[in-house]
Amino acid sequence: MTVGKARARAVIDNMGKHEIAVIGDLMLDQYLWGTVERISPEAPVPVVNINRESSTPGGAANVAGNIFGLGDIPLLIGVVGNDNNAKVLEWLLREKGIATDGLLADNDRPTTVKTRIIAHNQQVVRADRELKKDIPAAIETEALEKIQKHSETLKGVIISDYDKGMVTASLLDKLIDFCLQKNIFIAVDPKDTNFPRYKKVSLITPNHHEAGFAYGTRIVDEKTLLTVGNGLLERLDARSILITRGEKGMALFQRGGEVKLIPTVAKKVFDVTGAGDTVIASFVSAMAAGATLEEATVISNQAAGVVVGEVGTATISREALGEAFELGQAGAHE
């Protein structure tokens, strides 16, 4: 499956200035960077000498960062704790230019934080601080009201489900019904727990492990890939399912259409952290810009190929995406 360079440029040029809601689990991604020179005498683990620290918005906030990088306007909605990490996340988002009025505070939970220790450009260990429980009804109502207030301007809604408690069964049902009524493109980056509830959505973007687990058949070859993809499409009555396959690329299943297989374009892979966020953000941004499902797949594949070449949680920009097509990477032609 390919997209002509002229058509790709036309879609990318039209990306931006569209309002896209991102609702889901917010996180703060912390990084401790250092080097390893010895093994600890206390346990068979490396001793990392930390020389710098950094933080970046993660989870649904990273999806919003990708949306913003592509020139669109993210309406970010998610829950945080009433703590210092929430203030850091808010500051980082504001520094990027992303509105933070959709950060909803819950006094009974901490802000989700993932701390990664990186040595010699490789992740050594990750430590998570989180509380997995459903958000209270009041926060769910507030989140839905924010979406409803923007219904006339929204070009898409992304549900970023990391199974941390923001995406409740009740919120899913109400949000999907609302988007169907308003004819708003709704995309889901799924987690196993809620998979049966992603019915009638416009797009689902599981990786091959998640898709196989949800359907009950492990994907080991093209035959099982087709079984799982077509089976989930029918079971969920979705408009489309995009299964990401790592080094094997992507597979697009669409209602009433042929299965489209596309190879990866990544020339180098340093870190897949946040790659799924980039895929769904660039796909929905492309759809808002007038792309077809097939064109959005090729464009999101290009975007993923850019971010996996960087260490840490990365976001795509419209400029970098355009350059990828200009370089003549796979999936584009004159």
- In a domain? residue 120: no
Taking each helix axis as running N to C, give the angle between helix 60-69 and helix 275-288, from 0 to 180 degrees, rounded to the nearest 10. Answer: 50
Which CATH number does the domain housing residue 216 bear? 3.40.1190.20
Degrees (nearest 5) of the Cα angle 286, 276, 71? Answer: 35
Task: Write down the pLDDT at residue 270.
Answer: 43
Q: Helix (H, G, I), strand (E, B), or coil: what is residue 281?
A: helix
- In a domain? residue 47: no
C-alpha 186/C-alpha 200 separation (Å) is: 9
Long-range contacts of residues 252-259, Cβ cutoff 8 Å, at least 24 apart:
252/1, 252/293, 252/294, 252/297, 253/229, 254/293, 257/293, 259/226, 259/229, 259/230
- In a domain? residue 226: yes
C-alpha 115/C-alpha 30 separation (Å) is: 5
- What does the DSSP 8-state code read for residue 16? S
Handedness of CA 90, 96, 101, 106 (dihedral sign): negative
- In a domain? residue 315: yes
Encoded amino acid at 29, one letter: D
- In a domain? residue 176: yes
Handedness of CA 253, 204, 281, 247 (dihedral sign): negative
- In a domain? residue 32: no
Task: Write down the pLDDT at residue 271.
Answer: 40
What is the β-pairing status of strands 73-81 and 19-24?
A: parallel
- In a domain? residue 22: yes
| Phi and psi, residue 123, nearest 5° | -75, 125
In which residue ranges of the chain is pLDDT below 70? 1-3, 266-274, 308-314, 327-334
Task: Write down the pLDDT at residue 309.
Answer: 59
Task: Write down the pLDDT at residue 331.
Answer: 44
- In a domain? residue 78: yes
Domain limits for position 299? 3-27+58-110+130-333
| Phi and psi, residue 133, nearest 5° | -155, 150
Q: 131, 166 in Cβ contact below 8 A? A: no
Domain count, the chain: 1
Residues 6+ away with beta carbon under 8 Å from 306: 278, 316, 320, 321, 324
Task: Write down the pLDDT at residue 320.
Answer: 83
Task: Look up the pTM and report it.
Answer: 0.90
59 forms beta bridges with 26
C-alpha 9/C-alpha 45 separation (Å) is: 49
Residues involved in catalysis:
277
What's the distance, CA 71 to chain centroid?
A: 16
Instruction: Provide, for the chain, the percentages of residues in helix, strand and coil under a 3-state DSSP scheme, each rounded to the nearest 5.
Output: 40, 30, 35
